[in-house]
Structure 1
Amino acid sequence: MKLQKLLGYTRKALDDYNMIDDGDKIAIGISGGKDSLTLLYALSHLRRFYPKKYDIEAITVRMGYKGMNFSPVRQLCRELGVNYTIVETEIAGILFSRRNETNPCSLCARMRKGAFNIKAKELGCNKEAYAHHYDDAVETMMMSLIYEGRFHCFSPVTYLDKSGITLIRPLIYVREADIKGFRNAYGLPVVKNLCPVDGYTKRQYIKELIKKLQSETPGLKERLFHAIQASNTDGWKKPD
């Protein structure tokens, strides 16, 4: 995927769901994965010509795994003209050494989000951008349906009452396959995830399930995404 196509998908999401207002300062969560680095690229380039003026801050919450080097990410941020902050934590040690969590994903997410929110507020940000994409939306809906017995998905825009920050997801129209292509085309400095449960989660199971169903029923993923937009799920109805 070329940069122009990425910017087109991202701008459509911003416009469809009124994600950005003049004067926003947006914190981008940078895990080091392909998704968050693609989001960084998109928002850093769009700010040059998007009609609503905004600023961005890149933030990485370092989990405490030894061997994860974010120096290439820092260099990319320097090239893009984006301030980059690393928040040091001991989340990995808490999860796997002190608590010996067998299902750590939910607690890990809460701890990471907490550290991210605190730093975003310190930097004066009023919004946060997560790199959830088209496939993430479909997978989240399927996880909710299968494991919770309800039709639900995260919202394109969410106001977080406790922190007073608005969360936006500008990549909801971007396919994961396109993000992989963008990563390869632009040589994104992806940092390998060293979490011991990476690739063995419920989400990974659902991802493989959807892939199998898609191969048997072409167009399935598109129909599932349309079902999310056409439903009464919070936040998915496009503003007038």
Structure 2
Amino acid sequence: MQTSESTSVPTSAAPPTEAERRAAHEINKLSKRLHRQVGQAITDYNMIEEGDRVMVCLSGGKDSYSLLDILLNLQQRAPINFSIVAVNLDQKQPGFPAEVLPAYLKSRGVDFHIENQDTYSVVKRVIPEGDTMCSLCSRLRRGILYRVAGELGANKIALGHHRDDFLGTVFLNLFFQGRLKGMPPKLVSDDGRHTVIRPLAYVAETDIERWAAHRQFPIIPCTLCGSQENLQRVQVRKMLREWDQKFPGRIDNMHRAFSHVVPSHLMDRKLFPFETIRPTGQADPMGDKAFDHDDDEDDDACATPAAAEAGLPAEAAISLEALRRTLSPSSPFLPAQD
């Protein structure tokens, strides 16, 4: 007796919805932007060279995961050959899931090393409860990672600090240290043996958050500094986030200022010889226009009374004022027009 068997015909997958297409488009744009910005930072500061062995410090947070992920992608299409080794310092924090990072790194097929050092107990023993732990924790971690880099033959140490970290450091130094100092994208390590690089220097933290969510990194929260909400750095980060929301573009402009420094317009005598400058008698197109209006004043305030009475637009008024200063060396002292 023959029996008939029914065979199910596989149905084709449903086409993506409009929302799914838009989401995929946005992620593609984000990916291109992140890889372009990291590649640009590496190029601008010559961070990675032929034959380098780059030790990527992996904490288990969104920043270091994103750094490793992007560097691995760039490594595949870079015009130079360099190797990557991921290193995690297991500080023996209570409840730290020691199996998470090795499992992830094995899945990526990347060379890695887990360094086990109980710095957690040292920090908790030395720092009184409620005080900031970051400084001591950072010094201990830095010394260990320098040693590990030497043992692994790594000449470059890559850290996951991003654009917002750079800005936050400037304001921390400005507010609490009385100095204009930021976070360099590239420097020589304290021991003089390695080069420390920060390839995420151009990357916004919000983009890293989106990338980490998209890539579904197994994030491991820090129970030391990550749990201290009263940190000055945390307060500065909140301030920057509020500015970014209220004034789009402000953070980008501030970050851009890092690479457009004018030492002659600051006050550091070690950077510019204020004591020895003298008039040369030659016009300097880049010289200071000491009596000009500040750039942040309203355009209408830059118009001369005569220009305003003539009904000229603000742009024309500014041009007229600039022309008058050009024609007359004493133009800053010209009397007001009747």
TM-score normalised to the size of structure 1? 0.90
Partner of 1:133 in structure 2? 162
Are 1:117 and 1:163, in contact at CA under 8 Å, matched by a contact in 2? no
| Residue range with higher mean Cα deviation, 190-199 or 57-66 | 190-199
**1:156 corresponds to:** 185
1:113 aligns with 2:132: no
Unaligned ranges ≥5, structure 2: 1-26, 264-338
Which residue of structure 2 aligns with residue 210 of structure 1?
240
- Indicate the percent of aligned positions where both proteins have the same amino acid: 28
Deviation at 1:137, TM superposition (A): 0.8
Distance 1:179 1:129 in 2: 16
Check whether the contact 1:70–1:191 (CA below 8 A) recurs between aligned residues: no
Partner of 2:92: 64
The alignment's C-alpha RMSD in Å is 1.8
> Within 5 Å, which residues of 2 pair with 1:2-151?
2-100=30-128, 102-151=131-180
CA–CA distance in structure 1, aligned partners of residues 262 and 177 of structure 2: 17
Tell me the amino acid that sits aligned with residue 208 of structure 1.
Answer: K
Q: Determine the structure 2 residue equivalent to 1:183.
A: 212
Decide which structure has greater strand share: 1
2:297 alignment partner in structure 1: none
Runs of 4+ residues over 6 Å off in structure 1? none
Counterpart of 1:205, as a letter, is Q
Q: Which amino acid aligns with 1:81?
A: G
Deviations 1:121-179 (A, max 9, x none): 10000010000101111111111111111211111110125141000100111111111
Say which of 231, 255, 258 aligns to 1:201: 231
> What is the 5 A alignment of 1:218-229?
218-229=248-259
Alpha carbons of structure 1 residues 104 and 227: separation in structure 2 relative to 1, 3 Å: same
Question: Tell me, what secondary structure is at the counterpart of 2:208?
Answer: helix
- Equivalents in 2 of 1:70, 1:58: separation in Å? 15
d(CA) in 2 for partners of 1:27 and 1:232? 34
TM-score (norm 2): 0.65
Q: Which amino acid aligns with 1:201?
A: L
8 Å Cα contact 2:38-2:203 kept in structure 1: yes
Over 3 Å counting, the alpha-carbon distance change for 1:161 and 1:64 in structure 2 is closer
Tell me the equivalent position of 2:261. 231
Which structure has the higher relative contact order (CA within 8 Å, separation 6+)?
1
- Of 22-31 and 88-97, deviating more is 88-97
Counterpart-to-counterpart distance in 1, 2:102 and 2:32: 24
TM-fit CA distance, 1:88: 1.1
* Count of residues paired in the alignment: 233
